Amino acid sequence: MNDAAWLHLVEEFVDGRCDVNAFHDRFFELWNAQPRFGPPCPAAIEQLFFTVEAYCPDPALRDPGSPYEADAAEVRKDAEIALARLKADRQ
């Protein structure tokens, strides 16, 4: 997957054009489409992966006190950081 596809997805989410559940699903669609032996994901996406993976779309299944689970606010915060890094890497 190219960097532009990642940038587009993260921008859509941060700009509010995509909700957290759709972002979660689309993130993993792109992640799983990555070639195993091709160019690596951008570092910002590799870091964001851990937060997206920790997010559970069903709030009833999340433990708010767990450091290993993320809520929508945490995903958004880390997506904003990733977006800034993706944009900086393109300059």
The structure tokens listed for 3 are 């960097």
The structure tokens listed for 19 are 């909700």
Distance spanning both ends of the chain, measured CA to CA: 19
pLDDT (tens digit per residue) in 25-73: 999 999 999 888 877 889 999 999 999 999 988 888 888 788 889 999 9
Residue 38: per-residue pLDDT: 76
Delineate the domains of the chain, giving CATH numbers in brackets.
Answer: 3-90 (1.20.120.650)
Beta-bridge partners for 4: none
Q: If we measure between CA atoms, which residue out of 20, 42, 21 comes closest to residue 31?
A: 42
Residue 87: per-residue pLDDT: 93
